[in-house]
Amino acid sequence: MEKNKNKNMQTRDKRILLVIAFVAFAGISLAIISIKAAGTSDTKTTTINATVSETMALTCDANVAIPAVIASTPQTATSNCSALTNGAAGFSLKANATTAGATASQTLVSGSTWITNTALATYDGTAGTPAAWTGTFKGLGFRVVTAGTTNANTLAYWGTDVSAEKFAGFPVTAQSIYNYGSYSATSSTVVIQYKLDVPTTQKAGSYTGTVLYTATTN
């Protein structure tokens, strides 16, 4: 009888241990499931770098015709250049005479005969060069016109339209004739005026010359 009692107790103890073991295992499993359900995370930041390249588009009138000139009666004509750039600091427009054989005092030629600038100073890129046109000036002169030119308030050294215009001769080495010092989402227009007078001895005929305009981002 005592034997059966001990045996039953042992069996019961084993069952209890099994239940405890099962409960413990189930608890561990639930804990693992709980950890997996909660999940883990980590974060990292990526910096995106990009560069927008500068672009420049320049258009200028291909031809300009100065009316026929009689000595001591100057004639004028104008042409336009338009520049569009995304440069953050704007752009500079440069000009120089590119006629074959041109010099600092010669831009227009007919055959082998040149129209010589006898008194008009050659533009050297400084504000001190342009001067008021007087009756002694002969040859070809140019200036940047205020009316129609974008941001024209920076062009004081070219004088005031109509009443106090200032001109200079075309250089053979490119010099800046206009500068726009800030970004603009729209194109900028530069109006250039040409003025021509000749001496009474100037040979009659058709004269021609070329000028190169170059727009460069600042």
CA atoms within 13 A on the CB side of 20: 6
pTM of the entire predicted model: 0.80
Cβ 193 vs Cβ 141: under 8 Å: no
Residue type present at position 28: I
Lowest mean pLDDT among 29-33, 99-103, 188-192: 29-33
Q: What confidence score (pLDDT) does residue 76 get? A: 96
Q: What confidence score (pLDDT) does residue 118 get? A: 79
Q: What confidence score (pLDDT) does residue 17 get? A: 47
Cβ 197 vs Cβ 66: under 8 Å: no
Cβ 212 vs Cβ 164: under 8 Å: no
β-strand pairing of 106-110 with 91-97: unpaired
Phi then psi for residue 102, to 5 deg, are -65, 150
Give me the mean pLDDT over the 54-77 stretch.
97
